[in-house]
Amino acid sequence: MRAQRQYLEQIQRLRQRPPAEALEPLLAHLSGHGSAAAEASIRALGALGHPAAVAPLTSLYESLDADGPGRDPRCTLRKALVAAFVDLGARSAAPLLRRAISTVQVEKVGPRLDDTALDLRAMAALALAQLDRENALPCVALLLHNFEPAAPVPSSEWAFAKARGRIAAARAIAAVGDMAGAALLVVKLTYPEGEVPEVLAECLRAAAELRPPNLLDVVEPYMCGRDAWLAATTATALAEHLGEDAIPALVEHLDHMPKEARLPAVLAITGIRSAATGPALAGLFTHSDPAVRAAAIEGAALYPTPEIRVRIREKGEHEPDPAVRAAAAAALSRMPNSG
């Protein structure tokens, strides 16, 4: 234990030295000093940014992968290597990353068998999107549709067992950033086949980022569906990635959203900094839901114009709901030249 601590302290000191001086000593810590020292050395070599580290780290990955359960339990070192390849900008590691995306390693963790390569696959997908964008999608697409658990799980957990990998695939597709990836997301969202909400939410965010031409048609069932969380997620994603262009769709669909998603949608509109935001919020001052009216008043006060100031004053005087009247009075008091 003491020796292990000393190795880790040495590695930490080496990180402070110039790359040319630290390279060889760090490479020496990759073997023979325990997995903790090896992991620390891998991460230090990645941070070092020295291109000469790529070849030995690649060889180490090959060696570990030849007997994953025996040489790299829980894929700890290979995950560190994937992170290091990204830090080093190691495009030559792309074949290893493609292999990692399909790696399965079933081990006993506690009382049950577990697929310990799940996070390795997720990390590899994101890494491949950064290091080999042009060729990443075929492998990432398979991960996006990978449901079958590699280890036994209760039937209630079946769809969730590999969800982290599918979430990473959606993020990787967004990182690749082209319409071929957008098409994959459109198909996934149109035919979700029992997908879990967490994965669908990431696909919605990724699709909004890529902005395929049929985006609004694709996301409308989620914005107006029964799942309030997905509806709110959709509204937030559209506001973040479409900006002012999202305002008409958000206003138009507000009445069709689950009631619990309306307030997040109004907040999403409020966060779009544009000349159209204040008038759009003012248009919601007569909405049937008092919570929407109050949120719209508070949001519109952040975009003060003489017209909006007059509208808010009128709400404070004539609004039938006391909570909305109070919101109008508070908003008016915060507005410049509100007297």
pTM above 0.75, yes or no: yes
* Domain ranges (residues) in the chain: 1-48, 67-210, 250-339
Q: Are the C-beta atoms of residues 34 and 4 closer than 8 Å to each other?
A: yes
* Nearest CA among 101, 108, 100 for reference residue 74: 108
pLDDT of residue 142: 96
pLDDT of residue 29: 87
Q: Each residue's pLDDT tens digit in the chain (339 positions)? A: 677 788 888 899 988 899 889 999 999 989 877 899 999 999 999 999 999 999 999 999 999 999 999 999 999 999 999 999 999 999 999 999 999 999 999 999 989 999 999 999 999 999 999 999 999 999 999 999 999 999 999 999 999 999 999 999 999 999 999 999 999 999 999 999 999 999 999 999 999 999 999 999 999 999 999 999 999 999 999 999 999 999 999 999 999 999 999 999 999 999 999 999 999 999 999 999 999 999 999 999 999 999 999 999 999 999 999 999 999 999 999 998 744
Q: Are the C-beta atoms of residues 204 and 237 closer than 8 Å to each other?
A: yes
User: What does the alpha-carbon distance between residue 43 and residue 47 come to, in Å, rounded to a whole number?
Assistant: 6
* Nearest CA among 81, 76, 78 for reference residue 65: 78
Q: 55: number of CA atoms within 13 Å, CB side?
A: 4
User: What does the alpha-carbon distance between residue 144 and residue 163 come to, in Å, rounded to a whole number?
Assistant: 9
pLDDT of residue 304: 94
Burial letters 248-275, b for 16+ CB under 10 A, else e = ebbbebbeebbeebbbbbbbbbbebeee
Would you tell me how many other CB atoms lie within 10 Å of the CB of residue 12?
A: 11
User: What does the alpha-carbon distance between residue 239 and residue 222 come to, in Å, rounded to a whole number?
Assistant: 15
